[in-house]
């Protein structure tokens, strides 16, 4: 029987080598003791996956012998064969353990001859990595959730509104009835009746006015001189008596005079010829009509320069009459206010009526009359109503409260903001109707809700300012963002707070 050979090729034996192997009996099999693998703990680092390559080439014994007859066969080395069997067994175990690695089993082994320890607790290392990934994912999700919660619930916006003062004005009427009169009894369905009294005060005024109408008749030089009489007898002088200045300019007296002995008399003079050069400075005059011996005893002097002017005739124009009548009415009104200042006071309010058209006006000149001035006089009656001030103010405040919107409050109002006017007077019943004109200031209430916070969601600062500027009730505002670097309104309307600052 031909001997049977088996050969194999391995990459770990130092090259591709054909080794014939004789079959031996089981009883002659050499027992090789497996070397003890020393366990070495290595750092947690997994070995690279090894891909063993094993090639078994089994050919028919006869074909090998006949096709490639061997001249010589190497001697059977039992020790070498035992080493190869150990390596084969090791790598087989290594491959098996690497396959088991996918199932979580540990890989351990020692490379023969080198003493290299292979494997670590692969399952434990894999579990640690898995737990680490789960922990990182949990932390990441937690941080993301916190960011989302912070984005919606952390930012806030506080808007402080400073309201503007708006004017509210209106009028109301109430009736004043004198005590004891028929109208003194207040009607049950009318709370606008006030107890008071009606008084009538007479007014009068008189003034002098100048006429503005002028008609130029010519030119004249006028002045005033003082006549001196140093003689022991009185000296009469007729009108138009001549006066001669030192520079031989002739003037005349406007009227006749009588100069007493040792006395002086002032009299008006005019130039004999009205020219501008006749307006002379103060000087001494002689009287050519007197005896030469008396001229140094009876003479004239001037203390002021003479005036050159046009000779004008004044007359009354229609404008003069109209202005005089308007002014005399204003004079009556001024006297009425002076009379009212002494009335009322304390708890009494005053309303009055002064009808300018009812005034009786008298003028002592007619249209076109030649007059330099004229006199105008006027008379009228001032009707006064006196009534309770507090009661009237209460009625006015009640009317204001009725006029205020629900989101507004009365911010400013005093009794001085009410003006009373007496409209109708019934002389028979001594009663009248008073109209009160009043005004006050209103502003937003602290609980006013004029801002729709839903309209502000996600708006930036410029858009919020544009929205708030559309409210006339708001004079100014202040935006407080939190955090301060986020200049945008929160995404939730509940995170927006609106405050009205008074």
Task: Please list the residue range(s) of the chain that carry CATH number 2.40.30.
Answer: 216-309
- pLDDT of residue 31 exceeding 60: no
* Residue 405: φ, ψ to 5°: -65, 170
Beta strands in 109-256 (DSSP E): 109-111, 116-118, 156-163, 166-177, 193-210, 213-229, 235-237, 242-244, 250-253
- pLDDT of residue 304 exceeding 60: yes
Q: How buried is 396 (Cβ within 10 angstroms: 0-12 exposed, 13-18 middle, 19+ buried)?
A: buried
pLDDT, average across residues 52-59? 48
Encode pLDDT of 382-441 as tens digits: 999 999 899 999 999 999 989 999 889 998 888 888 999 998 888 776 788 999 999 999
Encode pLDDT of 98-153 as tens digits: 776 655 444 455 444 444 444 445 556 667 888 888 889 999 999 988 887 777 67
Look at the alpha carbons of 122, 128, 132, 134 in this order and tell me if their dihedral is positive or negative: positive
Distance CA 433, CA 88 (A): 131
CA–chain centroid gap for 439, Å, is 24
Q: Do 350 and 381 contact (CB within 8 A), yes or no? A: no
Low-confidence winner among 191-195, 202-206, 223-227, 258-262 (lowest mean pLDDT): 191-195
pLDDT for 42: 43
Q: How far apart are the first and last CA of the chain?
A: 124
- Can you list the pairs that 94-97 forms with residues at least 24 positions away whose Cβ atoms lie under 8 Å? 94/50, 94/52, 94/118, 95/52
What is the residue whose two structure tokens read 């002097």?
A: 301
Query: Over pLDDT 90: what percentage of the chain?
Result: 41
Q: How buried is 302 (Cβ within 10 angstroms: 0-12 exposed, 13-18 middle, 19+ buried)?
A: buried
List residues bridging with 10 in a β-sheet: 54
* Residue 332: φ, ψ to 5°: -65, -40
pLDDT for 100: 67
Confidence band, pLDDT 50/70/90 cuts, at residue 4: very low
Encode pLDDT of 317-367 as tens digits: 999 999 999 999 999 999 998 988 888 777 889 999 988 888 999 999 999
Locate all alpha helices (DSSP H) within 274-416, ordered by sequence: 318-341, 389-403
- pLDDT of residue 368 exceeding 50: yes
What is the residue whose two structure tokens read 């606008």?
A: 192
Q: Do 432 and 176 contact (CB within 8 A), yes or no? A: yes
State which CATH number among 2.60.120, 1.20.950, 2.40.30, 2.40.10 fits the domain covering 216-309: 2.40.30
pLDDT, average across residues 291-304? 92
Low-confidence winner among 70-79, 181-190, 281-290, 445-454 (lowest mean pLDDT): 181-190
pLDDT for 327: 94
């Amino acid at each position: 029987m031909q001997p049977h050979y088996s050969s194999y090729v391995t990459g770990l034996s130092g090259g591709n080598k054909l080794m014939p192997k004789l079959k031996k009996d089981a009883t002659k099999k050499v027992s090789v003791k497996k070397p003890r693998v020393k366990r070495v703990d290595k750092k947690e680092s997994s070995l690279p996956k090894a891909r063993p390559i094993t090639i078994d080439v089994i050919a028919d014994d006869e074909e090998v012998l006949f096709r490639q007859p061997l001249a010589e066969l190497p001697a059977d080395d039992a020790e070498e064969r035992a080493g190869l069997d150990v390596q084969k067994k090791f790598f087989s175990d290594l491959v098996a353990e690497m396959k088991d690695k996918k199932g979580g089993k540990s890989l351990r082994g020692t490379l023969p001859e080198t003493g290299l320890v292979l494997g670590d607790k692969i399952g434990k290392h894999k579990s640690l990595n898995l737990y680490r990934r789960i922990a990182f994912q949990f932390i990441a999700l937690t941080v993301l959730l916190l960011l989302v919660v912070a984005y919606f619930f952390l930012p806030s916006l506080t808007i402080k509104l400073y309201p503007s003062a708006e004017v509210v004005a209106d009028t109301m009427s109430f009736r004043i009835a004198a005590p004891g009169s028929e109208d003194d009894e207040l009607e049950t369905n009318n709370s606008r009746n006030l107890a008071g009294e009606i008084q009538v005060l007479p007014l009068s005024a008189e003034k002098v006015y100048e006429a503005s109408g002028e008609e130029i008749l010519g030119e004249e030089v006028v002045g005033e001189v003082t006549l001196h009489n140093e003689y022991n007898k009185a000296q009469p002088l007729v009108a138009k008596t001549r006066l001669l200045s030192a520079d031989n300019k002739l003037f005349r007296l406007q009227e006749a005079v009588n100069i007493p002995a040792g006395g002086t008399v002032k009299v008006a003079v005019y130039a004999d010829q009205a020219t501008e050069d006749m307006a002379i400075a103060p000087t001494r005059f002689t009287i050519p009509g007197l005896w030469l011996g008396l001229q140094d005893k009876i003479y004239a002097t001037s203390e002021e320069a003479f005036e050159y002017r046009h000779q004008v005739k004044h007359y009354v124009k229609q404008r003069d009459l109209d202005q005089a009548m308007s002014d005399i009415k204003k004079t009556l009104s001024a006297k009425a206010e002076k009379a009212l200042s002494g009335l009322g006071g304390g708890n009494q309010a005053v309303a009055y009526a002064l009808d300018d058209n009812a005034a009786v006006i008298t003028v002592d000149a007619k249209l076109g009359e030649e007059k330099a001035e004229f006199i105008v006089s006027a008379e009228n009656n001032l009707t006064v109503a006196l009534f309770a001030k507090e009661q009237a103010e209460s009625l006015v405040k009640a009317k204001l409260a009725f006029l205020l919107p629900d989101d507004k409050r009365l911010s400013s109002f005093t009794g001085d903001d009410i003006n009373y006017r007496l409209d109708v007077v019934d002389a028979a019943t001594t009663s009248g109707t008073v109209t009160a004109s009043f005004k006050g200031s209103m502003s937003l209430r602290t609980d006013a809700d004029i801002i729709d916070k839903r309209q502000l969601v996600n708006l930036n600062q410029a858009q919020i300012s544009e929205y708030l500027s559309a409210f006339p009730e708001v004079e100014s505002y202040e935006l407080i963002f939190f955090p301060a670097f986020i200049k945008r309104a929160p995404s939730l309307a509940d995170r927006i707070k609106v405050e009205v600052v008074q």
